[in-house]
């Protein structure tokens, strides 16, 4: 039933695009979605999935389709969002030359030397901008066992929790798949992430539950969200297999998952992180409508 | 079908029409067969068709279902089995699985390698041949049972493979197939067979056309997710599917699986077999049965 409703709404958006033809501007094609949004989900989008759009173009188009945030951006891009009344719901953490912030993470004590001061500074910046969260990563295993990874991550994260708590910023570690996109990444299981949350023991450390990545690693998405939502601070989307659109071209029923998220009382953001295989901004507006339960 | 009707009505601006079920538009008429052989269970349509088994089959056939599944077929009387088979033959319906043997839910059996369990299993497989022939079934379900905590996984696997080879010797000459069903550890903690890759390895070791995988998409969504890539990876050993949305184990559209696309994928691979509807009805009564059929129409509209 829900799916039918979705088809109706998304076709209404697509239908406008067809009716408007080449003469209608892109903003005109995607803006109808704005009027259908229900306000239960705060919609966000990950910039890296739109290499053909500048931050400004994505912010402008996103605003028109009802997005509240463009995410995974550096501080230099934040003023652009401000122009459009948008936030960066999930900014990048710090980086240093010679290190990859995704594969070189909190699980390796040497990295704490740059991660701890870098995060303390970034947390302050995020707080000043009025944003809720900042992303972090475990890093790759490189032969490390689960327990050592937990101990190391907890130690590094505990060092930045005072700043996070003082400034009211939630540090979110992303769960990624280690089979297809990020081989050897350590934070690849919800159970492991939840155990890390319990050890860090602060409301300012949570998980970024990426639905696409966890469908590859685990499945059982809705039960996992219902069970562990207290430990989840942010959500990402993506179609499986392929990481493209999240509609009927892939194996998950996103409206049902979004309803489960809303039912947990979640007030954060949902970041669209699929790689558009069709017209990018039209795909984005369709995903927003699809997730607007 | 319905999706297309709906989409075209939308395109002409008749949005209000979209909510009307296709069944209302052609009440009384026989429905088009589904594109895939979805197999309902007895009891699923009892509010429409009553308690009589033949009536239930007739109702399902009228609704476009081309297969049926009955886990407990072996326990039915010979007369009932014959009556069901005759009705299905007349209506051109294909029989799905029945459960071939006693499943040991709480004690090690086939994994232990103990001769008495193996003998009992093989005897039951032998008995199943006659039943399969009587009801025109090709497939029968095998669940290898509980883990044997005293044995390393390697020995348990070898014990199971040996039993399955002997069972294949019985089934292969008759063209019958036992399908191994991995179950999820959330509902069934302690069972040996959990994952599709594990079942794949066992089928490769048994190396017989009589030993294949039953991929229950409900169980696999709970156990490992990644449904389509797992289907692709194990395709040559998968002979049978079962259906159920997660969470809740009800009909498609009631959970997190996008069955429209999963079925489209299975259909695109030319799957010739049956997909058993081993799930409950989301809503009670006649209304729930109609909603279930409507849900199957929507996910079959690829």
**What angle in degrees, to the nearest 10, is found between the helix axes of B2-11 and B285-299?**
80
Distance from C-alpha of A159 to C-alpha of A117, rounded to nearest angstrom: 9
CA-based nearest residue to A176, from A91, A264, A103 = A103
Nearest CB partner across the interface for B226, out of A219, A222, A256 = A219
- Encoded tokens for A232: 């989840």
Q: Outline where DSSP puts E strands in chain A.
A: 42-46, 69-71, 133-136, 170-174, 205-210, 232-236, 269-272
DSSP assignment string, chain B: -HHHHHHHHHHTT-GGGGGS-HHHHTTTSPPPPPSSEEE--TTTTHHHH-S-HHHHHHHHHHTT--EE--TTGGGS-HHHHHHHHHHHHHTTPEE--EE-S---SSSB-TTTT-HHHHHHHHHHHHHHHHHHHHHTB-EEEE---B--TTS-HHHHHHHHHHHHHHHHHHHGGGT-EEEE----TTTSTTBS---HHHHHHHHHHH--TTEEEEEEHHHHHHHT--HHHHHHHTGGGEEEEE---TTT-BSTTSSSB-HHHHHHHHHHTT--SEEE--SB-SS-HHHHHHHHHHHHHHHT--
pLDDT tops 90 at residue B247 = yes
Q: Tell me the pairing of strands A205-210 and B67-68.
A: unpaired
Nearest CB partner across the interface for A219, out of B225, B245, B254 = B225
- With CA atoms as reference, the chain A residue closest to B266 would be A251
- With CA atoms as reference, the chain A residue closest to B229 would be A241
Is B228 within 8 Å of B257 (Cβ atoms)? Answer: no
Distance from C-alpha of B12 to C-alpha of B7, rounded to nearest angstrom: 9
* B14-58 confidence digits (pLDDT tens): 333 333 444 444 445 689 999 999 999 999 999 999 999 999 999
Contact B19 A4 (CB under 8 A): yes
- The per-residue pLDDT of chain B, averaged, comes to 92
Distance from C-alpha of B261 to C-alpha of B259, rounded to nearest angstrom: 5
CB atoms within 10 A of CB A88: 30
Query: How many angstroms separate the CA of residue B255 from the nearest CA in chain A?
Result: 6
pLDDT tops 50 at residue B3 = no
Residue B18: per-residue pLDDT = 39
Q: Is the ipTM of this complex over 0.90?
A: no
Nearest CB partner across the interface for B225, out of A217, A250, A254 = A217
DSSP category for residue A158 = H
Residue B30: per-residue pLDDT = 82
Q: Considering only CB atoms, which chain B residues are within 8 Å of A251?
A: 227-228, 257-258, 261-262, 265
Contact B256 A11 (CB under 8 A): no
- The three-state secondary structure class of A23 is helix
Residue A24: per-residue pLDDT = 42
- Encoded tokens for B49: 């068709």
Contact B255 A214 (CB under 8 A): no
- Taking every pair of Cα atoms in chain B, the longest distance, rounded to a whole number of angstroms, is 69
pLDDT band at B235 (very low <50, low <70, confident <90, very high): very high
If you search the block for the tokens 């297809």, which residue do you land on? A180
Cα-Cα end-to-end distance for chain A? 13
Distance from C-alpha of A22 to C-alpha of A17, rounded to nearest angstrom: 9
The answer to whether B223 faces chain A, any CB pair under 8 Å, is yes
**Which residue stretches of chain A have pLDDT < 70?**
1-35
* B173-224 confidence digits (pLDDT tens): 999 999 999 999 999 999 999 999 999 999 999 999 999 999 999 999 999 9
pLDDT tops 70 at residue B161 = yes
Nearest CB partner across the interface for B10, out of A1, A11, A222 = A11
Nearest CB partner across the interface for A8, out of B10, B222, B224 = B10
| Alpha-carbon distance values, B82 to A207, B70, B77, B101, B134 (Å) | 57, 14, 9, 20, 7
Report B:70-129 residues touching A (Cβ under 8 A). Answer: none
Query: How many angstroms separate the CA of residue B244 from the nearest CA in chain A?
Result: 13
Contact B256 A221 (CB under 8 A): yes
Residue B72: per-residue pLDDT = 98
Is the peptide bond between A241 and the residue preceding it cis, with omega within 30 degrees of 0? Answer: yes
* A43-68 confidence digits (pLDDT tens): 999 999 999 999 999 999 999 999 99
Contact B220 A219 (CB under 8 A): yes
What is the pTM for the complete model shown? 0.89
Query: How many angstroms separate the CA of residue B90 from the nearest CA in chain A?
Result: 34
The answer to whether B225 faces chain A, any CB pair under 8 Å, is yes
Contact A215 B261 (CB under 8 A): no
Question: What positions of B carry a catalytic annotation?
Answer: 181, 278
Residue B27: per-residue pLDDT = 46
User: By CB neighbour count within 10 A (0-12 exposed, 13-18 middle, 19+ buried), where does A51 fall?
Assistant: exposed
Chain A with chain B: Cβ pairs closer than 8 A? 95
pLDDT band at B9 (very low <50, low <70, confident <90, very high): very low
User: By CB neighbour count within 10 A (0-12 exposed, 13-18 middle, 19+ buried), where does A141 fall?
Assistant: buried
The answer to whether B261 faces chain A, any CB pair under 8 Å, is yes
The answer to whether B55 faces chain A, any CB pair under 8 Å, is no
Contact B227 A223 (CB under 8 A): no
Is A274 within 8 Å of A238 (Cβ atoms)? Answer: yes
The answer to whether A145 faces chain B, any CB pair under 8 Å, is no
Q: Considering only CB atoms, which chain B residues are within 8 Å of A223?
A: 186, 222, 246-247
Query: How many angstroms separate the CA of residue B124 from the nearest CA in chain A?
Result: 34
- Encoded tokens for B71: 């886990």
Report A:190-229 residues touching B (Cβ under 8 A). Answer: 214-223
Nearest CB partner across the interface for A256, out of B186, B256, B298 = B256
| Alpha-carbon distance values, B62 to A171, A278, B28 (Å) | 57, 40, 9
Contact A220 B246 (CB under 8 A): yes
| Alpha-carbon distance values, A186 to A95, A181, A196, B66, B194 (Å) | 19, 13, 12, 47, 24
Contact B10 A256 (CB under 8 A): no
The answer to whether B281 faces chain A, any CB pair under 8 Å, is no
Q: Tell me the pairing of strands B94-95 and B98-99.
A: unpaired
* Average pLDDT rounded to a whole number, residues B83-112: 97
Nearest CB partner across the interface for B255, out of A216, A217, A253 = A253
Contact B226 A15 (CB under 8 A): no
Contact B229 A216 (CB under 8 A): yes
The answer to whether B186 faces chain A, any CB pair under 8 Å, is yes
């Amino acid at each position: 039933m829900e799916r039918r409703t979705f088809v109706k709404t998304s076709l209404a958006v697509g239908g406008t695009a067809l009716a408007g033809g080449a003469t209608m501007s892109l903003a005109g094609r995607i803006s109808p979605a704005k009027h259908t949004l229900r306000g239960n989900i705060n919609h966000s989008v990950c910039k890296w999935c739109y290499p053909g759009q500048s931050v400004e173009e994505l912010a402008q188009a996103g605003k028109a389709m009802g997005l509240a945030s463009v995410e995974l951006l550096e501080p230099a891009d934040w003023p652009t969002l401000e122009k459009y009344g948008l936030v960066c719901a999930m900014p990048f953490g710090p980086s240093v030359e010679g290190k990859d912030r995704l594969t070189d993470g909190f699980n390796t004590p040497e990295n704490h030397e740059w991660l701890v001061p870098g995060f303390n500074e970034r947390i302050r910046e995020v707080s000043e901008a009025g944003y809720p969260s900042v992303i972090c990563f475990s890093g790759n295993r490189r032969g490390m066992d689960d327990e050592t990874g937990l101990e190391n991550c907890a130690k590094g994260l505990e060092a930045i929790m005072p700043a996070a708590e003082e400034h009211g910023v939630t540090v979110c570690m992303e769960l990624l798949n280690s089979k297809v996109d990020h081989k050897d990444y350590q934070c690849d299981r919800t159970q492991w992430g939840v155990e890390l949350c319990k050890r860090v023991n602060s409301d300012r450390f949570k998980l970024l539950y990426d639905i696409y990545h966890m469908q590859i690693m685990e499945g059982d998405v809705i039960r996992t969200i219902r069970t562990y939502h207290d430990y989840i601070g942010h959500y990402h989307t993506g179609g499986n297999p392929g990481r493209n659109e999240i509609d009927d071209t892939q194996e998950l029923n996103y409206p049902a998952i979004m309803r489960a998220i809303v039912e947990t009382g979640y007030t954060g953001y949902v970041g669209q992180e699929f790689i558009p295989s069709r017209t990018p901004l039209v795909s984005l507006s369709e995903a927003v409508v699809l997730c607007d339960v | 079908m319905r999706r297309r009707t709906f989409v075209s009505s939308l395109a002409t601006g008749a949005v209000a029409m979209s909510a009307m079920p296709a069944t209302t538009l052609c009440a009384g008429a026989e429905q088009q067969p589904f594109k895939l052989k979805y197999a309902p269970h007895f009891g699923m349509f009892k509010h429409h068709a009553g308690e009589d088994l033949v009536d239930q089959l007739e109702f399902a056939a009228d609704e476009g279902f081309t297969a049926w599944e009955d886990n407990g077929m072996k326990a039915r009387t010979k007369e009932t089995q014959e009556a069901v088979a005759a009705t299905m033959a007349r209506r051109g319906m294909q029989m799905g699985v029945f459960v071939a043997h006693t499943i040991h839910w709480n004690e090690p059996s086939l994994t232990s390698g103990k001769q008495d369990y193996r003998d009992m299993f093989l005897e039951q497989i032998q008995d199943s041949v006659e039943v399969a022939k009587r009801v025109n079934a090709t497939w029968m379900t095998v669940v290898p049972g509980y883990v044997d905590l005293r044995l390393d996984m390697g020995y348990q696997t070898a014990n199971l493979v040996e039993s399955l080879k002997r069972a294949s010797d019985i089934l292969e000459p008759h063209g019958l197939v036992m399908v191994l069903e991995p179950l999820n550890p959330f509902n069934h903690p302690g069972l040996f067979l959990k994952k599709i890759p594990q079942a794949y390895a066992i089928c490769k070791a048994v190396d017989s056309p009589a030993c294949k995988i039953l991929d229950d998409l409900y169980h696999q969504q709970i156990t490992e997710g990644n449904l389509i890539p797992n289907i692709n990876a194990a395709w040559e050993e998968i002979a049978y599917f079962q259906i159920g949305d997660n969470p809740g184990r009800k009909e498609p559209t009631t959970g997190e699986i996008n069955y429209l696309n999963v079925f489209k994928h299975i259909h695109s691979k030319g799957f010739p077999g049956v997909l058993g509807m081993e799930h409950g009805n989301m809503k009670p009564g006649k209304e729930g049965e109609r909603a279930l059929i409507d849900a199957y129409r929507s996910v079959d509209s690829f």
